[in-house]
Amino acid sequence: MTVDKDDNGSAEEMEELERKRAETSGKAGIGSDVSTGGGAYIGRDYAIQSDEMQGDKMGRDKIAFDEFLLDPAAFIGSAETAADEPEPTGADLDTLFAPLSEVIAAAPEDMQQEAFHMADELKEEVARGDQSDDATVAKLIQRLSIVPGAAAVTKEIFDAPLLASQIGPVTSFVLDNLSTD
C-alpha cells in the first residue's frame, strides 16, 4: 500500500499506523497503560467458567478461590444457622413469659382478661418456631403494649437469645418502635 505524505504526518508514520491497525484487526488490544478510573484490572491468565473463577495472575494480590465457599446463604442467613439454634420448649417459654404475666396481673382488672389471652396467643405463636407468623407476633406485641409496663418486658423477652434469632422484620419494627415510658 502506498501512502502519500499529507498534512497529518509523514508517509512512514502513516504506514506504521496502518500496520498496527492491521495487526490488531479483530482483536481487543490493551496496551501497557490502562486507566480503570479506580476499578479493578485483571492482567492476564484468568478464566471465568460458570460460577467458578480460576487464575494465578490477577491484579497485584493472588487469591486462591478454592478457599471460599460461594454459598449465598452465608451472606443472607441460612436454614442451617437457624437450625443450630434450639427451638424454644414450653418450659423455656413459660420462664421467658413469666415477667409478662406478672405485669399483666398488676394491671387494672378490666385489662387483665384480654391481656392474659393475648399473652397466651403470643406464647403459642412463638412456640411454633420457624413456622410462626411474623405479622401475628407483631400485632400481638403491639396490642399488649397498652398494658402498663408490658412494652419494656416484651422487649426483654424478645432480646433473649432463644427468641432473638426468630424475630422477623415486622416484629423487629414493632419492637423498635414500642414506647417503654
pLDDT per position as a tens digit, 9-46:
677 887 887 777 766 655 555 555 666 666 666 666 65
pLDDT of residue 44: 60
Any domain includes 53: no
Residues 98-109: pLDDT tens digits?
Answer: 999 999 999 999
CA proximity to 126, closest of 114, 116, 136: 136
Any domain includes 141: yes
Cell 419494627: give the residue. Answer: 173
Q: Which domain holds residue 143?
A: 90-176
> Considering its fold, how many domains does the chain have in total?
1
Beta bridge partners of 48: 53
- Angle at Cα 164 formed by Cα 172 and Cα 121, nearest 5°? 75
93-122: average pLDDT: 94
Q: How far is CA 95 from CA 62, 91, 148, 154, in A?
A: 53, 6, 20, 13
Residues 70-93: pLDDT tens digits?
Answer: 444 444 444 444 445 566 777 888
This prediction's pTM:
0.53
pLDDT band at 114 (very low <50, low <70, confident <90, very high): very high
State whether residue 14 is helix, strand or coil: helix
Lookup: cell for 160:
433473649
